Protein backbone atom coordinates (compact mmCIF):
# COMPACT_ATOMS: atom_id res chain seq x y z
CA UNK A 1 0.00 0.00 0.00
CA UNK A 2 1.45 3.22 -1.19
CA UNK A 3 1.45 6.16 1.18
CA UNK A 4 -1.04 8.88 0.38
CA UNK A 5 -0.47 12.56 -0.23
CA UNK A 6 -3.18 15.24 -0.16
CA UNK A 7 -3.85 16.64 -3.62
CA UNK A 8 -7.09 18.61 -3.15
CA UNK A 9 -8.42 20.35 -0.04
CA UNK A 10 -12.08 20.06 0.91
CA UNK A 11 -12.94 23.47 -0.56
CA UNK A 12 -11.19 22.59 -3.81
CA UNK A 13 -13.15 19.38 -4.10
CA UNK A 14 -16.36 21.18 -3.21
CA UNK A 15 -15.90 23.80 -5.91
CA UNK A 16 -14.91 21.17 -8.44
CA UNK A 17 -18.02 19.12 -7.83
CA UNK A 18 -20.24 22.21 -7.77
CA UNK A 19 -18.98 23.23 -11.21
CA UNK A 20 -19.43 19.62 -12.31
CA UNK A 21 -23.02 19.56 -11.07
CA UNK A 22 -24.03 22.94 -12.48
CA UNK A 23 -22.21 22.30 -15.77
CA UNK A 24 -23.82 18.90 -16.19
CA UNK A 25 -27.29 20.34 -15.57
CA UNK A 26 -26.74 23.07 -18.16
CA UNK A 27 -25.18 20.50 -20.49
CA UNK A 28 -28.26 18.24 -20.33
CA UNK A 29 -30.91 20.97 -20.55
CA UNK A 30 -28.86 22.82 -23.17
CA UNK A 31 -28.64 19.69 -25.33
CA UNK A 32 -32.41 19.39 -25.02
CA UNK A 33 -32.84 22.86 -26.52
CA UNK A 34 -30.05 22.16 -29.01
CA UNK A 35 -31.41 19.14 -30.82
CA UNK A 36 -34.87 17.57 -31.04
CA UNK A 37 -33.32 14.11 -30.63
CA UNK A 38 -32.33 15.04 -27.09
CA UNK A 39 -35.42 17.03 -26.09
CA UNK A 40 -36.35 14.09 -23.83
CA UNK A 41 -33.56 15.28 -21.51
CA UNK A 42 -35.67 18.35 -20.69
CA UNK A 43 -38.68 16.12 -20.18
CA UNK A 44 -36.97 13.90 -17.61
CA UNK A 45 -35.47 16.95 -15.89
CA UNK A 46 -38.89 18.32 -15.03
CA UNK A 47 -40.28 19.42 -18.40
CA UNK A 48 -39.45 22.03 -21.03
CA UNK A 49 -40.67 25.14 -19.17
CA UNK A 50 -38.88 24.06 -15.97
CA UNK A 51 -35.66 23.47 -17.88
CA UNK A 52 -36.01 26.82 -19.62
CA UNK A 53 -36.50 28.49 -16.24
CA UNK A 54 -33.53 26.88 -14.47
CA UNK A 55 -30.95 26.58 -17.26
CA UNK A 56 -29.91 30.26 -17.13
CA UNK A 57 -30.02 30.46 -13.33
CA UNK A 58 -27.88 27.34 -12.90
CA UNK A 59 -25.65 28.73 -15.66
CA UNK A 60 -25.02 31.88 -13.63
CA UNK A 61 -24.26 29.65 -10.62
CA UNK A 62 -21.71 27.77 -12.76
CA UNK A 63 -20.13 31.05 -13.74
CA UNK A 64 -19.87 32.28 -10.14
CA UNK A 65 -18.32 29.02 -8.98
CA UNK A 66 -15.91 29.23 -11.93
CA UNK A 67 -14.86 32.67 -10.64
CA UNK A 68 -14.29 31.18 -7.19
CA UNK A 69 -12.30 28.37 -8.79
CA UNK A 70 -10.21 30.90 -10.66
CA UNK A 71 -9.36 32.73 -7.44
CA UNK A 72 -8.03 29.43 -6.07
CA UNK A 73 -6.49 27.73 -9.10
CA UNK A 74 -5.79 30.67 -11.39
CA UNK A 75 -2.16 31.12 -10.26
CA UNK A 76 -1.50 27.37 -10.63
CA UNK A 77 -2.85 27.42 -14.18
CA UNK A 78 -0.33 29.77 -15.80
CA UNK A 79 1.19 28.03 -18.81
CA UNK A 80 4.97 27.70 -18.39
CA UNK A 81 7.79 26.74 -20.73
CA UNK A 82 7.68 23.21 -19.33
CA UNK A 83 3.98 23.04 -20.15
CA UNK A 84 4.69 24.05 -23.72
CA UNK A 85 7.29 21.33 -24.03
CA UNK A 86 4.80 18.89 -22.52
CA UNK A 87 2.08 20.00 -24.93
CA UNK A 88 4.46 19.53 -27.86
CA UNK A 89 4.77 15.94 -26.72
CA UNK A 90 1.11 15.44 -25.84
CA UNK A 91 0.93 12.75 -28.51
CA UNK A 92 3.34 10.69 -26.41
CA UNK A 93 1.17 11.31 -23.38
CA UNK A 94 -1.90 10.12 -25.28
CA UNK A 95 -0.11 6.96 -26.42
CA UNK A 96 1.13 6.15 -22.88
CA UNK A 97 4.72 6.87 -23.81
CA UNK A 98 5.14 8.89 -20.61
CA UNK A 99 8.88 8.32 -20.24
CA UNK A 100 9.81 11.04 -22.72
CA UNK A 101 7.63 13.74 -21.10
CA UNK A 102 9.10 16.55 -19.03
CA UNK A 103 8.11 16.27 -15.33
CA UNK A 104 5.02 18.31 -14.46
CA UNK A 105 3.92 20.60 -11.65
CA UNK A 106 0.60 20.24 -9.84
CA UNK A 107 -1.33 20.49 -13.12
CA UNK A 108 0.05 19.36 -16.44
CA UNK A 109 -0.19 21.31 -19.69
CA UNK A 110 -3.28 19.45 -20.84
CA UNK A 111 -5.13 20.11 -17.61
CA UNK A 112 -4.26 23.78 -17.88
CA UNK A 113 -5.51 23.99 -21.45
CA UNK A 114 -8.76 22.31 -20.36
CA UNK A 115 -9.04 24.75 -17.48
CA UNK A 116 -8.69 27.79 -19.76
CA UNK A 117 -11.14 26.35 -22.28
CA UNK A 118 -13.78 26.01 -19.57
CA UNK A 119 -12.98 29.31 -17.88
CA UNK A 120 -13.10 31.33 -21.12
CA UNK A 121 -16.12 29.27 -22.19
CA UNK A 122 -17.91 30.35 -19.01
CA UNK A 123 -17.48 34.00 -19.98
CA UNK A 124 -18.68 33.48 -23.55
CA UNK A 125 -21.63 31.41 -22.36
CA UNK A 126 -22.65 33.95 -19.72
CA UNK A 127 -22.36 37.01 -21.95
CA UNK A 128 -24.23 35.45 -24.87
CA UNK A 129 -26.63 33.69 -22.54
CA UNK A 130 -27.92 36.92 -20.98
CA UNK A 131 -29.24 37.99 -24.38
CA UNK A 132 -30.96 34.65 -24.91
CA UNK A 133 -32.35 34.77 -21.36
CA UNK A 134 -34.20 38.07 -21.89
CA UNK A 135 -34.92 38.38 -25.62
CA UNK A 136 -38.07 40.41 -24.88
CA UNK A 137 -35.87 43.39 -24.00
CA UNK A 138 -34.11 43.40 -27.37
CA UNK A 139 -35.96 45.44 -29.96
CA UNK A 140 -36.75 43.95 -33.37
CA UNK A 141 -34.29 46.31 -35.05
CA UNK A 142 -31.56 44.55 -33.05
CA UNK A 143 -32.72 41.07 -34.05
CA UNK A 144 -29.22 40.36 -35.39
CA UNK A 145 -27.90 40.64 -31.82
CA UNK A 146 -30.23 37.86 -30.66
CA UNK A 147 -29.31 35.71 -33.65
CA UNK A 148 -25.56 36.25 -33.20
CA UNK A 149 -25.70 35.52 -29.48
CA UNK A 150 -27.46 32.20 -30.04
CA UNK A 151 -24.78 31.14 -32.52
CA UNK A 152 -21.98 32.25 -30.15
CA UNK A 153 -23.67 30.43 -27.26
CA UNK A 154 -23.89 27.19 -29.20
CA UNK A 155 -20.32 27.33 -30.51
CA UNK A 156 -18.99 28.11 -27.02
CA UNK A 157 -21.09 25.27 -25.60
CA UNK A 158 -19.81 22.82 -28.23
CA UNK A 159 -16.20 23.76 -27.48
CA UNK A 160 -16.69 23.20 -23.74
CA UNK A 161 -18.51 19.94 -24.47
CA UNK A 162 -15.45 18.77 -26.39
CA UNK A 163 -13.32 19.55 -23.35
CA UNK A 164 -15.88 17.98 -21.04
CA UNK A 165 -15.92 14.67 -22.95
CA UNK A 166 -12.12 14.45 -22.87
CA UNK A 167 -12.01 15.50 -19.19
CA UNK A 168 -14.50 12.86 -18.10
CA UNK A 169 -12.86 10.19 -20.23
CA UNK A 170 -9.39 10.92 -18.88
CA UNK A 171 -10.34 11.15 -15.23
CA UNK A 172 -12.66 8.14 -15.18
CA UNK A 173 -10.96 5.81 -17.67
CA UNK A 174 -7.58 6.96 -18.91
CA UNK A 175 -5.78 7.98 -15.70
CA UNK A 176 -6.83 5.63 -12.88
CA UNK A 177 -6.66 7.26 -9.47
CA UNK A 178 -7.89 10.68 -10.66
CA UNK A 179 -11.49 10.23 -9.49
CA UNK A 180 -10.32 9.02 -6.07
CA UNK A 181 -8.08 12.07 -5.88
CA UNK A 182 -11.00 14.40 -6.51
CA UNK A 183 -13.40 12.56 -4.18
CA UNK A 184 -11.18 11.74 -1.18
CA UNK A 185 -8.61 14.46 -1.82
CA UNK A 186 -5.71 12.01 -1.55
CA UNK A 187 -3.59 10.27 -4.16
CA UNK A 188 -0.94 7.59 -3.69
CA UNK A 189 2.67 8.75 -3.64
CA UNK A 190 3.36 6.61 -6.71
CA UNK A 191 0.54 8.34 -8.59
CA UNK A 192 1.91 11.76 -7.71
CA UNK A 193 5.44 10.72 -8.78
CA UNK A 194 4.22 9.29 -12.06
CA UNK A 195 1.99 12.16 -13.15
CA UNK A 196 3.13 15.30 -11.32
CA UNK A 197 6.75 14.80 -10.37
CA UNK A 198 7.65 18.46 -9.77
CA UNK A 199 4.62 18.97 -7.54
CA UNK A 200 5.47 15.75 -5.69
CA UNK A 201 9.01 16.91 -5.05
CA UNK A 202 7.79 20.34 -3.94
CA UNK A 203 5.32 18.77 -1.50
CA UNK A 204 7.57 16.09 -0.05
CA UNK A 205 10.95 17.67 -0.51
CA UNK A 206 11.70 14.65 -2.64
CA UNK A 207 12.39 12.60 0.43
CA UNK A 208 11.80 8.96 0.03
CA UNK A 209 8.99 8.26 2.41
CA UNK A 210 9.79 6.21 5.45
CA UNK A 211 8.09 2.89 5.58
CA UNK A 212 5.18 2.75 7.96
Partner 1 sequence: MANGILEIKAISGHAGPVPGRDTSRDYDVCKYIDVTTCIGCKACEVACLEWNGYPFRDTVFDNTYQTMPDTAWNYYNLIRFNEHVDEDGTLKWLMRKDGCMHCADPGCLRACPSDGAIVQYANGIVDFNQEHCIGCQYCVTGCPFNIPKLNPETKKVHKCTLCSDRVSAGLEPACIKACPTGCLHFGSKDDMKDQAEKRAKQLREHTSHKSAGVYDPAGVGGTHVIYVLHDIEHPEHYGGLPKDPRVPLLVRIWKGPLKWLGNLAMAAGILGVAAHYIRFGPKGEGEDPKEGEK
Catalog residues that contact partner 1 under the rule CB under 8 A.
2-3, 32-37, 39, 42, 48-49, 51-53, 94-96, 98, 132, 135-136, 140, 143-144, 146-148, 150-151, 154-155, 158, 161-162, 165-166, 169, 173-177, 188-191, 193-195, 201, 206, 208-209
**Closest distance between partner 1 and the C-beta of residue 16, in Å?**
20
Task: Write down the least CB distance from residue 74 to partner 1, Å.
Answer: 27
Inter-axis angle of helices 48-73 and 109-133, to 10 degrees? 140
Nearer to partner 1, 18 or 87 (CB): 87
Could you tell me if 21 and 201 are in contact, meaning their C-beta atoms sit under 8 angstroms apart? Answer: no
The CA distance from 62 to 71, in Å, is 14
DSSP category for residue 45: T
Report how far apart the first and last C-alpha atoms of the chain are (Å, whole number).
Answer: 10
Q: What is the largest CA-CA distance in the chain?
A: 73
11 or 53, CB closer to partner 1? Answer: 53
Rounded to a whole number of angstroms, the minimum distance from the CB of residue 11 to partner 1 is 26
Three-state DSSP at 64 gives: helix
Whose Cβ is closer to partner 1: residue 63's or residue 191's? 191
Tell which residue, 3, 9, 1, 17, has the closest CA to residue 185. 9
Nearer to partner 1, 67 or 179 (CB): 179
CA atoms within 13 A on the CB side of 172: 6
To the nearest whole angstrom, how small is the minimum distance from the Cβ of residue 195 to partner 1?
Answer: 7
In the complex, least distance from residue 102 CB atom to partner 1, rounded to whole angstroms: 15
Amino acid sequence: MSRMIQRYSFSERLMHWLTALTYTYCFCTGLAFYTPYLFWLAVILGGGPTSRFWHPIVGVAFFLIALWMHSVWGPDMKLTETDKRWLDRSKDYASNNDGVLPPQERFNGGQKVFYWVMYCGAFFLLLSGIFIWFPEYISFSLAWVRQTMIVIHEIAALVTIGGFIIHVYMSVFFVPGSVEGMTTGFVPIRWARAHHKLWYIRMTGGEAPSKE
